Amino acid sequence: MTTAADSPDTNTDDCTIAQDWEAYCDRDHATWRQLFERQSRLLVGRACDEYLAGLDQLGVCADGIPDFRKLNDVLGKTTGWQVVAVPGLISEAAFFGHMAERRFVATRWIRSPEQMDYLQEPDIFHDVYGHVPLLTNPAFADYLQAYGRGGLKALRLGALDKLARLYWYTVEFGLLHTPDGPRIYGAGILSSRGESIYCLDDRKPNRIAFDLKRILRTRYRIDDFQETYFVIDSFEQLMSETAPDFAPIYRELAGLAEIEPGDIQPSDTSVGGSFTDRGSATKMQKKGRG
Ligand code: PHE
Ligand code: FE
């Protein structure tokens, strides 16, 4: 956990700090503009409608880094969520605690011009451009709050390694099935130029229908594009399938083997083209790469 005792505007009770919007320089705003323009062109026909509507509604635009006070005006009137700035990594308990209270924790720094394509840690472009628009959607807003409560519970039960996979494969890297084909709703994809293309257009990754227990068992990669994406039918489905008590599920899964990121299970339902269409050559290649 990063403490920010040296930062004068730290609120020591809840780890939040002021965004200090006035402190951004022209270069910071120019970086946002460049990222925004590039990504917004790309996401037409790729991002789900709910996300694009949220972007519009919040007035997130190319002008420059959004001011959290303005975002919060709109969010307050739509789903009651708020965006709060934090100095960097905070404890899991603080992260889930905020989420359970409908506060989305965001970073306030923006990447440098040399980091346009790849970042290890989230910056404000990932957090705000990627995550915040969907907070205007009532079903997604409820899901994320429920996740926050579930996070606090998983912490108590020692099951966070399992639950973290659900966040990863939905909130960060989720796809949504629509009549027009799969669309992106995961923030990790929405803020990444390369993965926005890869996750939909490339033949390599698996696209598998949402399956809660399957996801809780599946490890994930943090250093490369995902090998598997899980596709939901609707945000309502996400909400209803995660509504049951997870405590017995965690106990059940404790005895089962984990699934590697690229592996396919007999019970998997492929979305948009069967696994066998792609032939065993793909699988062999994957093994070859180690
Ligand atoms: N139902 C889950 C539990 O009992 C909580 C949860 C909801 C977790 C939604 C994730 C997402 O732990
Ligand atoms: Fe994120």
Instruction: Evaluate whether residue 148 is within a structural domain.
Output: yes
> Under the phi-then-psi rule, with left for phi > 0, alpha for psi from -120 to 50, and beta for the rest, what region is 134?
alpha
Tell me the per-residue pLDDT of 250-265, one tens digit each, with 9 for 90 and over.
Answer: 999 998 999 999 999 9
pLDDT of residue 17: 96
Pick the atom of ligand 1 nearest to 243's CA.
Answer: 1
Instruction: Evaluate whether residue 274 is within a structural domain.
Output: yes
DSSP string, 229-253: EEEES-HHHHHHHT-S-SHHHHHHH
Q: Which ligand is nearest to the CA of 241?
A: 1
Encoded tokens for 281: 């050559």
Instruction: Write out the E strands in 60-128.
Output: 82-85, 103-106
Instruction: Specify whether the CB–CB gap between 184 and 47 falls below 8 A.
Output: yes
Instruction: Evaluate whether residue 1 is within a structural domain.
Output: no
Q: What is the DSSP letter of 218?
A: B
Instruction: Specify whether the CB–CB gap between 119 and 111 falls below 8 A.
Output: yes
Residues lower than pLDDT 50 in the chain: 1-8, 12, 278-290
**Ligand 1 pocket test target in 92, 96, 149 with most atoms within 8 Å of CB:** 149
Instruction: Evaluate whether residue 95 is within a structural domain.
Output: yes
The radius of gyration of the chain from alpha carbons, rounded to an integer in Å, stands at: 19
- CA distance from start to end of the chain: 33
**Count of domains in the chain?**
1
H-helix or E-strand spanning residue 213 = helix 212-216
Instruction: Evaluate whether residue 124 is within a structural domain.
Output: yes
126 catalytic per annotation: yes
DSSP string, 135-203: GGSHHHHHHHHHHHHHHHHHHHHT-HHHHHHHHIIIIIT-EEEETTEEEE--HHHHT-HHHHHHHHH-S
Residues 6+ apart with CB under 8 A from 154: 160, 162, 163, 246, 250
pLDDT of residue 60: 86
CB-ligand 1 contact for 168 (6 Å cutoff)? no
How far away, in angstroms, is 237 Cα from ligand 2 center?
A: 21
**Residues forming beta bridges with residue 82, ordered by sequence position:** 103
Tell me the per-residue pLDDT of 15-60, one tens digit each, with 9 for 90 and over.
Answer: 899 999 999 999 999 999 999 999 999 999 999 999 999 999 999 8
CA dist 94 and 92 (Å) reads: 5
> How buried is 275 (Cβ within 10 angstroms: 0-12 exposed, 13-18 middle, 19+ buried)?
middle
How far away, in angstroms, is 198 Cα from ligand 2 center?
A: 18
> How buried is 188 (Cβ within 10 angstroms: 0-12 exposed, 13-18 middle, 19+ buried)?
buried
Instruction: Evaluate whether residue 284 is within a structural domain.
Output: no
Instruction: Evaluate whether residue 3 is within a structural domain.
Output: no
pLDDT of residue 82: 98
CA distances (Å), origin 89, targets 4, 85, 108, 150 = 10, 11, 12, 20
Instruction: Evaluate whether residue 6 is within a structural domain.
Output: no
The CATH number of whichever domain residue 228 belongs to comes to 1.10.800.10
pLDDT of residue 1: 36
Domain ranges, residue 53? 14-278
Q: What angle do CA 174, 209, 151 make, to 5 degrees?
A: 50
The catalytically annotated residue of 126, 192, 195, 196 is: 126
